[in-house]
Amino acid sequence: MSIDYNNPQEVPGMSEADSKLKRFHCCLDEMLEKYRDQKDDELYAVSVLEGLADGCNRMGLSQEFSARMAGMQYVFSSIGDDAIKAVFHTAYLKKYLKKIPLKYMKNSALLTFKTEAYMKEHYELRLNVMTNTPEYRQLGGLYSFGELDDKTRKTMTINALKAGVDSWDRDLNRYLESSLIPTYEPLMEYISQLPRWDGKDRITSLANRVKTDDKYWADHFHKWMLSMVAQWLHLNTQHGNAIVPLLIGPQGSGKTTFCRKLLPEELQRYYNDNLPLKNEKDIYDSMSSLALINIDEFDALSRSQQPILKYLLSKHDVKMRAIYGKKMEQRQRFASFIATTNNLHPLTDPTGSRRFVCVYADTIDNSGKLNYKQLYAQLKRELDRGERYWFSDKDNARIMQSNEKYQKVLDFPTMIAKTFVPVKETPANAAYMLLVDIMNVITGKYTETKMTNGSIMAMGKLLKSMGYEHKKTSRGAAYRIVTL
């Protein structure tokens, strides 16, 4: 970028930081020279400080930066930090007050102007639409945004009073809770600041970390990731992301870690894998304040909770009443869902199985780092060019067919049919299997089934009635049966 030498914004040839320091010290040198004949040391320091504050204001330096730099100068060592801040506050407030006809202005109106001016000079404020709470960042340094809690609000009030602004907690809260504070959407801002996609497919590579023989998994996962980001960007205001990848595998296979790694570090605060699905308010609040919810141990959901979850998945917004609120509020839904389980048969509602993309994996590769910026840049680019992010009827039919083997089975005849060779196809020379071993096979496959004396007896009677050959042994009843 070329430099305008007649009207430069910064000192030509210097970085912005070095330029600010140079401008500050030029102004300080000028004031030291201007008041050098002042005999009274205390009056000398005050005169230089007041002149410096006016000069920094005219030179376009921020109030916080200038006051902080002044506090480091030896010439002002006899003046306290609060007094230095007050002098700079007065100097910088002039540019607001000179535009206001103070003679005819009510004190309440003037206080409002002063409060707003003070806040803009010292802080950057924003309302996080996901957490529905204001956040702040102090100006004049490399500060990051933090939640504006009650303790911080009180500190702001004290600092304003020290600076001569007669604001109290209620005055400050009135401003902080007004529409004057700009809104901030963390997810949309993250996506909007991504670099240009380099063209390398990283979504398929991420999906292939899940070691499965499901040939459709990568395609289904890709579609779900697109739908998740589309929901963040409000591309579909009529429907929510209604699909839930359900990772099935043994304990320690890396399912939960994989889910957590789907979000970059910047968005980890909007991830939750410990959400109780019993309190309706907690669910609604989480759907509008989180980006990704992992339903860990999905099979722990009661039979009545899965249909409720199915209903929630289709909602694109949530209506809820805030604590102590007098009316219902409508808030945007941001959260998508993913789930994990060790149970090989977690589905209890056959009509709602199309909502879940079940995939079995013995292990998941969570090693190495992900290039999140390029990963999400790919999704953004694909959405920009109109890539389909919803599941078609053909997709849903394929998912339902694939999910049949993951349906919970509660009756022994079906379990036997899905586990052992039918009686008519059992070889005449097949080995006998103890009844207790048969039950071990069943309970290993259908983990919700418990082995009890009653269930063992029921299984024995059923096998006999189905025609399986049997005999008595010293270790109990045994049946001629072959596993599939």
pLDDT tens-digit series, residues 455-470: 888 888 888 888 888 8
What are the tens digits of pLDDT across the range 395-443?
988 988 888 888 776 678 878 888 888 988 898 888 999 998 988 888 8
Crossing angle of helices 435-445 and 453-466, rounded to 10°: 100
When mean pLDDT is compared across 5-9, 74-78, 193-197, 398-402, the lowest value belongs to 5-9
CB under 8 A, 24+ apart: contacts of 187-191: 187/130, 187/232, 187/233, 187/267, 187/270, 187/291, 187/334, 188/232, 188/233, 188/234, 190/264, 190/266, 190/267, 190/376, 191/229, 191/232, 191/233, 191/376, 191/380
* pLDDT for position 177: 81
CB atoms within 10 A of CB 109: 12
CATH 3.40.50.300 range(s) for the chain read: 190-406
DSSP string, 148-213: --HHHHHHHHHHHHHTT----HHHHHHHHTSTTSPEE-HHHHHHHT-----S---HHHHHTTB---
12 pLDDT above the threshold of 60 = no
On whether the CB atoms of residues 412 and 459 are closer than 8 A, the answer is yes
User: What is the rounded CA–CA span in Å between residue 479 and residue 475?
Assistant: 12
Say whether pTM exceeds 0.75: no
Residue 355 DSSP symbol: G
Q: Say which residue, 364 or 8, is predicted with more confidence.
A: 364
Mean pLDDT of 73-85: 89
DSSP string, 318-354: EEEE-TT-SSEEEEE---EEEEEES-S--B--GGGGG
What are the tens digits of pLDDT across the range 134-173?
899 888 777 788 888 889 888 888 888 887 777 777 877 8
* 190-406 CATH pick, 2.40.420.20, 3.30.70.260, 3.40.50.300, 3.40.50.920: 3.40.50.300
Model confidence band, residue 351 (pLDDT cutoffs 50, 70, 90): low
198 pLDDT above the threshold of 60 = yes
* pLDDT for position 372: 96
What are the tens digits of pLDDT across the range 30-60?
999 999 888 888 899 999 999 999 888 888 8
Residue 141 DSSP symbol: S
Model confidence band, residue 221 (pLDDT cutoffs 50, 70, 90): very high
